[in-house]
Amino acid sequence: MLGWGAYNSIIGHEGIGTVVQAGRNVSTSMLGKRIGIKWLYNACNKCSICKRGFANNCAKQLNTSRHVPGTLQQYAVADARFVSRIPDGVPDEVAAPLLCAGLTMAGALGHLDELQPGDWVVISGSGGGLGHIGVQIAARVKKLRVIAVDSGDAKRKLSLESGAEAFIDFKMEDVAIRVIELTGEGAHATVVVPGTKEAFKTAPTLVRNMGHIICVGLPPNDMDLPISATLCAARCKAFPISCHLNIFG
């Protein structure tokens, strides 16, 4: 919509609906089932990436609302192999955001499987649509100690209610200094959710040696990571990338 790329004229990739028709080679048992349609419309299932179980990273993948019509319509067509069953009792308005924001944050935090319960992670943009889900996954599923970074009382409240141990208002405090005060050496990892140059520039100052910086935010296409290559080599930092093209379906 912002002209960043060629998208289908029908957008949307967080659709929840009920199956009313099954195509060829699709079991009729799916009829009447409640399913979700994600960004990942389908993948080749043949390449080395797909065979390793990472269809979300397939170079030949098709994406809902980009390559094929999206979900903001009365009826949508989906690849039955790549839809998600929605459990009974989970409302549509709760399930839908999990198909994008939730999967994005699950994918981001999936890069941190080597961290142990009790390790520190900083999540910037913690009070936003993606950030607060990331705080919940990190704190309640992975049992990490979360330092939330955002601004304003509403974001503070949501971040702490989501499981953050501490909240830093980046407009009121020096984030790097506060992170060192809380952790001693710096966090074991930071997840950069905002797509701003300032958030990416601050990230290396928040983690200890051998720390991880997980890039989630989608900045403008012409923005390069403002991170020193010398700093990466000297401190052995790792920079996995997790974004809407790298979600776990």
- The pair of structure tokens assigned to 10 is 């029908």
Looking at residue 232, its pLDDT comes to: 75
* pLDDT in 10s for each residue of the chain, 249 residues: 566 667 888 889 999 999 999 999 999 999 999 999 999 999 999 999 999 998 988 999 999 999 999 999 999 999 999 999 999 999 999 999 999 999 999 999 998 999 999 999 999 999 999 999 999 999 999 999 999 999 999 999 999 999 999 999 999 999 999 999 999 999 999 999 998 999 999 999 999 998 999 999 888 878 887 777 777 777 777 666 544 333 333
Q: Are residues 212 and 187 in the same domain?
A: yes
Q: Which of 35, 63, 90 is the last residue of a domain?
A: 90
For residue 48, give the 3-state DSSP assignment: helix
Q: pTM of the prediction?
A: 0.86
Looking at residue 194, its pLDDT comes to: 94
Q: Are residues 79 and 111 in the same domain?
A: no
Buried-exposed string 179-207: b where 16+ CB fall within 10 A, e elsewhere? bbebbeebbbbbbbbbbbeebbebbbebb
Whether the CA torsion 200, 201, 207, 209 is positive or negative: it is positive
Q: Are residues 76 and 145 in the same domain?
A: no
Whether the CA torsion 54, 55, 60, 61 is positive or negative: it is negative
171 CB burial (10 A radius; 0-12, 13-18, 19+) = exposed
Domain around 74: 15-90
Q: How many domains does the chain have?
A: 2
Looking at residue 2, its pLDDT comes to: 63
Q: Are residues 51 and 132 in the same domain?
A: no
Q: Are residues 224 and 151 in the same domain?
A: yes
Domain assignment present for residue 68? The answer is yes
Q: Are residues 116 and 173 in the same domain?
A: yes
Domain assignment present for residue 83? The answer is yes
Domain assignment present for residue 55? The answer is yes
**Rounded to an integer, what distance in angstroms lies between the CA atom of residue 121 and that of residue 144?**
7
Task: Give how far Cα 228 sits from Cα of 12, 50, 214, 225, Å.
Answer: 36, 33, 16, 9
Looking at residue 4, its pLDDT comes to: 63
Q: Are residues 46 and 73 in the same domain?
A: yes
The CATH number of whichever domain residue 63 belongs to comes to 3.90.180.10
For residue 183, give the 3-state DSSP assignment: helix
Domain assignment present for residue 158? The answer is yes
Domain assignment present for residue 174? The answer is yes
Q: Which of 32, 55, 90 is the last residue of a domain?
A: 90
Q: Are residues 122 and 203 in the same domain?
A: yes
Q: Are residues 118 and 157 in the same domain?
A: yes
